[in-house]
Amino acid sequence: MKKKTALQFAILCGVPLVMVLGNSMLIPVFPQMKQAMGLTQFQVGLIVTFFSVPAGILIPFAGLLSDRYGRKVIMVPALFIYGLGGLICGFSALFMEEPYSLLLAGRVVQGAGAGGTYQLAMALTGDTFQSSERTKALGLLEASNGLGKVLSPILGSLIALLSWYAPFFAYGLLAFPIALGVWFLVPEMQGKHTCESLQEYWRKLKEVFKEKGRLLLASYLVGMVALFLLFGVLSYISDILESTYNVYGLKKGFVLAIPVFSMALTSYLSGQFLSDKQFLWKPIIVGGMFTTAVTLGLLPLFTSLKPHMATLFLTGVSIGILLPPINSLITGATSTDRRGMITCLYGTVRFFGVAIGPPSFGLAAGLGTWAMFLGCACIAATTAIIAAVSITPPRPSE
């Protein structure tokens, strides 16, 4: 990349980085929130759900509007709304004795803003880069997303030394400058937006799914399951690090960063290596899901921290390696004027995966560790089989 293009792309990479903090930065603070507000583990999980569900619902509409009016005109206001939601949460905790209800409302606002961020950054990247360069760029974007996941538990633990609600204020401080950077410094292709009626738009969208629905739905499933398992496991581990292993504070943040670091690094390497090797995409996706199933199935065997985290490191690797080819399959499945909607539907299912992960694991923990993780292994293995049957990568010429 040229120096100017690298700067613009670096700003664009800040979008997924700040967006992913929306949930990941709070995970190490869950036990403090639970104690400060007198919540159950399920109620704590809803702090993730109330963010992720509105984001997932609004993502397709953000995609539709971005196809018609442009990526930036949707993305930049969304970043400001995202930061505002975080401030609502922070001030509710600062000034109210029982802030839980208003905090959840703030998370809804924040989630609404998140609905117009990362997926549109993916779409804008797909508009700008072509063929092998697109896969490399999307790998960097996914790595930036992963880097946010790596930094977020450390940042969350560090900022929470001030107060359990201090991380909420960080969202505005990060989102507002990135929004301004995207608006003033990141270019956007002109003349590529659709101007047809909504009826015509939906008709052509149906044609995309009629032609490539099997590929897209299987790819959506893989992305959703991967994020469901990752965030479910992280919320569970956040709790047992304190209750079982007596790991607290900043040290806990570094321990939680281990699986997401392996995921981020592998996403970057996978995007670089697989950019021009479409014939490897399917075996990588299927193999990554099967490896995820194996590592999760092995977790209940370990009772000490080091083998536990080593296994989760491998889980991060297996998830990280499959995300860039999945992203490339989805962004390359259609033309520019449909890419925003197709990509944002992918974002919707990813957010729903994140939304149901923590509360699902909170409920499943009552069944016992073996039942919970063997169930997760079965979900991952079933997803791998569906991917093996349904995903067909494009030919190099495509």
pLDDT tens-place string over residues 280-328: 888 999 999 999 999 999 988 888 888 988 999 999 999 989 988 888 8
160 in helix, strand or coil? coil
231 contact partners, CB below 8 Å, separation of at least 6: 23, 24, 27, 48, 353, 354, 357, 358
Q: Is the pLDDT of residue 397 over 50?
A: no
351 in helix, strand or coil? helix
Compute the distance between CA of residue 150 and CA of residue 295 in angstroms, rounded to an integer. Answer: 20
Distance, C-alpha 10 to centroid of its chain = 18
Residue 367 DSSP symbol = G
369 contact partners, CB below 8 Å, separation of at least 6: 299, 300
| E-strand stretches of 325-365 | none
Percent share of the chain, pLDDT over 70: 88
- Torsion angle of the four alpha carbons 311, 317, 320, 325, in this order, in degrees rounded to the nearest 10: -130
Query: For residues 375 and 337, which has the higher predicted lDDT (pLDDT)?
Result: 375
Domains in the chain: ranges and CATH: 3-184+207-390 (1.20.1250.20)
Compute the distance between CA of residue 337 and CA of residue 342 in angstroms, rounded to an integer. Answer: 10
Query: What are the distances in angstroms from CA 290 to CA 219, 227, 380, 384?
Result: 15, 15, 7, 6
Residue pair 79/133 in contact (Cβ under 8 Å)? The answer is: no
Compute the distance between CA of residue 286 and CA of residue 266 in angstroms, rounded to an integer. Answer: 16
Task: Please tell me the least confidently modeled range out of 80-84, 153-157, 220-224.
Answer: 153-157
The answer to whether the predicted template modeling score (pTM) of the entire model surpasses 0.85 is: no
* 229 token code pair: 């398992």
Q: How confident is the model at residue 196 (pLDDT cuts 50, 70, 90)?
A: low
CA 175, 179, 183 angle in degrees (round to 5)? 175
Q: Which of 261, 139, 186, 183 is nearest to 5 (CA)?
A: 186
pLDDT digits (tens, 9 = 90+) for 229-282: 988 888 888 888 888 888 888 888 888 888 888 887 888 788 778 767 778 888
pLDDT digits (tens, 9 = 90+) for 364-390: 888 888 999 999 999 999 999 999 999
Q: Is the pLDDT of residue 134 over 70?
A: no
* 216 token code pair: 């897209």
* 121 token code pair: 């950054």
5 contact partners, CB below 8 Å, separation of at least 6: none
Determine the length of the chain.
Answer: 398
Query: What are the distances in angstroms from CA 46 to CA 5, 157, 237, 302?
Result: 40, 20, 17, 29
